[in-house]
Amino acid sequence: MTNDPMDFRTGTVAPMECLKEGWETIKDQYWLFLGLTVVTMLIGGAVPIVLVGPMMCGLYLCIFTRMRGEAVDFGLLFKGFDYFMQGLIAAAIQTLPVFVLVVIGDIFFFAFTFTVLPHTHGEPPPAIFWLGLVIFVLIMMIVSLIVHSVFMFSYPLIVDRKLSGWDAVKTSYRAALQNLGGVVGLILLNAGLSILGVLACYVGVFLVMPVSFASYAAAYRRVFPDIGNLNLAAPPPPPGSWAA
């Protein structure tokens, strides 16, 4: 493997091993990473697209720093704003197309619902309505899985390989496709853990989240090994200096 920041390995993502590696990375400071993850979700969700990118960059920055055995604190989380523009671009590329697809899907579903539902009060919905509802939910789940899969490495690439937002998304897409089985398996494994968290009075979802993100970082490191030339705390070059 060369030192080209866009080089990656294939066939290296083993879901259970990534989950174990993620847990090993953060277990000694689990409560710190739980706090970092909750703050990331709260601030990132406060202004979607605009803040989610830099906050996710900061979270992965913390995880990679911990992987190297270095100290992590809350101040490091906000170093993600050094990558504000790159994170914003990556977040927009991931979010806007999905938003458009969801809106279109909702329009079609509401039109379908209005057409097939009985207009007489008290009459039960026909079987075709329930079939349409199941198909709609499955399509939304598949779209979510595809988006999560192909963009999973975007934010790590920004902080680890210093890629622009656009190049990070493109490289994540290529790498995810070449490791699709493992990537999808890891996402489904974490989704299963989240479902268990929901069953545990929902609070379990938050307890699982730090391990999930650490497992994604472990998968990333298997696909994109450390090339030995990383300075994660340093801000990236100005956007104009990136190659097209």
- DSSP annotation of 229: -
Pairwise pLDDT comparison (138 vs 79), residue with the higher score: 79
The pLDDT of residue 94 is above 60: yes
The pLDDT of residue 100 is above 50: yes
Task: Give residue 1's pLDDT.
Answer: 54
Task: Give residue 127's pLDDT.
Answer: 79
Tokens 């902080």 found at = 159
Tell me the average pLDDT of the chain. 86
pLDDT band at 53 (very low <50, low <70, confident <90, very high): very high
Q: Which residues contact 127 (CB under 8 A, 6 or more apart)?
A: none
**Do 64 and 224 meet the contact criterion of CB atoms below 8 Å apart?**
no
Across residues 218-242, what is the average pLDDT?
65
Tally of CB atoms within 10 A around 201? 8
Q: Hey, what long-range contacts does 165-170 have (CB within 8 A, 24 or more apart)?
A: 165/53, 165/85, 165/86, 165/87, 165/88, 165/89, 165/90, 165/92, 165/93, 166/89, 166/90, 166/93, 167/6, 167/242, 168/86, 168/90, 169/89, 169/90, 169/93, 169/94
DSSP 18-38: HHHHHHHHHGGGHHHHHHHHH
Across residues 20-47, what is the average pLDDT?
96
pLDDT band at 228 (very low <50, low <70, confident <90, very high): low
The pLDDT of residue 130 is above 70: yes
* In the chain, domain spans: 15-226
CA distance 205 to 192: 10
Residue 233, CA distances (Å) to 33, 65, 70 in order: 18, 9, 12
End-to-end CA distance of the chain: 23
* pLDDT per position as a tens digit, 58-68: 999 999 999 99
Closest CA to 233 of 65, 115, 31, 90: 65
Name the CA radius of gyration of the chain, rounded.
20
Across residues 204-231, what is the average pLDDT?
87
pLDDT band at 189 (very low <50, low <70, confident <90, very high): very high
Return the axis-axis angle of helices 84-116 and 165-178, rounded to nearest 10°: 60
Pairwise pLDDT comparison (2 vs 139), residue with the higher score: 139
Q: Which residues contact 52 (CB under 8 A, 6 or more apart)?
A: 44, 45, 87, 91, 95
The pLDDT of residue 8 is above 50: yes
